[in-house]
Amino acid sequence: MRHGNGLSCPVLVLATAVLLCFSLACISSAQGQTTGVVRVKTDTTGVAVWLDGEDAGRTPLTFRNLTTGKHRLVLAKDGYEDHLQEIDVSPGQPNSIFVVMKPLALQLPALPVEFKVIHQHRLGTCVGALTVSAEALDYKATNDSDQFHIPIATIKGLSRSWGPVAGMMPIGIRGPTDMMAFRLETPGRSYGFLAFKDTVDDQMKVAGERTRELYEVVYKLWSATLSPAEKDKKSH
């Protein structure tokens, strides 16, 4: 039997079956995908990106084959406020994120200024006071187990990190295992700190803000000692 379009019933049935199989295959393929693509851009380039506590690079940045579901994104750059965001990755779809970084309005406190800190050792930690002056950083442990003097001019590099900080737990700072640490490099030695406001039982948010304050104060003093060429190199 033929219809007006000249196709017989068997041909129509076959065509319908092929289309149905194709549709089901597409649906199955989409459902079977467990990764997605995330593109991250910012209004200022060179912003450091951490994904789930891991250093992922600098913007503009594209994550490929990122597992679907929720992830935590942290963006940071000297002179700007940190940007924290939870993203939900969809399977098989491009996810684009554009962030406008907010300039950080920081005024240096009256110097010298003292920060209560947890000082990270290669094995373990100690609690003490870190005094920041225009010329140097001076640390003294509460139990007198450690003490050192770091001239600002001898600092070779400063950095912050998001993620588990070795030696910082179980003592100190109530909160998740992800935390922000402040590190500085000098010839022959590196130092790690986590600042807190009142006690080592401070909430993580409070400790993170205080650690950021410490970093920004030291960075501003240190960057003043760099030549224009060195400043340009550190910004890349």
Name the strand (E) or helix (H) holding 31. Answer: helix 9-32
Report yes or no: 67 and 98 within 8 Å, Cβ to Cβ: no
- Give the CA distances from residue 184 to residues 55, 82, 144, 155, 166, in Å, rounded to whole numbers and listed in that order: 17, 19, 22, 7, 16
Which DSSP helix (H) or strand (E) runs through 113? strand 113-120
**Tens-binned pLDDT, residue by residue, of the chain (236 aa):** 444 455 455 544 444 544 554 454 444 444 456 888 899 999 988 998 988 878 889 999 999 888 988 998 888 887 788 888 889 988 877 788 999 988 877 677 899 999 999 898 877 889 999 999 999 999 999 999 899 999 999 999 988 876 544 444 434 444 443 456 788 999 989 998 988 888 766 677 778 888 888 998 998 899 888 765 554 555 44
CB 193 within 8 Å of CB 130: yes
Fold annotation for 113-234: PH-domain like (2.30.29)
Residue with tokens 């459902």: 31
In three-state secondary structure terms, 170 is coil
The arrangement of secondary structure in 34-99, i.e. its CATH architecture, is Sandwich (2.60)
